[in-house]
Chain A
């Protein structure tokens, strides 16, 4: 069975600082990996996804993530955080096809002025 671990429950960064959110997955085959963001009172918005190919993927809002098979990781990064990035971030893994996703427990990002 697939699983996702997000080790950091809560992270606080200053506006303009860089950000890295960690995600580790467990899956027997090549995973389909995703990062979603949930702003307060909102649904989930897809930030980026990795299926194959280039291990560094670019997403919306200036986010990127790097797939490292050797470390079973898919960490999310942003070089300069904006106050509007404060939200809950979820990493998810899929088995492919039209199947449902397995989500991590989420990381809450707080941005200090």
Chain B
């Protein structure tokens, strides 16, 4: 499976500030996904990030709040802007399987644990 890393692994931030989360993959992938996992909850898709085009956001998520960059086929960033305590969550990136692996399978990074005070 793809090796996915995220930075930072965790952070504590003050409300009103912004945090940029990085996701690095060890192979080239066309699509990357960003999910949010609020405390005690399941994963919710924030957006799909395609290289060379604007990210596609899910209902309830907007670009002004969660801007995404996808500068190349191995890297993406998600920014959580103007944070409030409600943004305290785990943020995970994922990529589809590649090559011999089935594309329907998603592989996940270790997540970024964000606490907003």
Contacts and interface: CB of A to CB of B under 8 A. Distances in A.
Interface of A: 32, 34, 36, 41-46, 49, 51, 90, 92, 94, 96-106
B105 A46 contact: yes
Contacts of B33: 100
B110 A103 contact: no
B106 interface: yes
A98 B103 contact: yes
Contacts of A43: 92, 108-111
Contacts of A41: 113
B103 A97 contact: yes
B96 A103 contact: no
A34 B107 CA distance: 11
A1 to B, nearest CB: 11
A51 B45 contact: no
B42 A100 contact: no
Contacts of A42: 110-111
Contact of B43 (A46, A98, A103): A103
A105 B106 contact: no
B31 A98 contact: yes
Given A49-B104, A105-B41, 20 more contacts: A43-B109, A43-B110, A46-B105, A46-B106, A49-B102, A49-B105, A51-B104, A90-B42, A94-B104, A97-B103, A97-B104, A98-B30, A98-B104, A100-B35, A100-B45, A100-B48, A100-B106, A101-B43, A103-B44, A106-B41
A94 B33 CA distance: 13
14 contacts: A44-B43, A51-B102, A92-B106, A97-B103, A98-B96, A98-B103, A98-B104, A100-B35, A100-B94, A101-B106, A102-B45, A104-B42, A105-B41, A106-B41
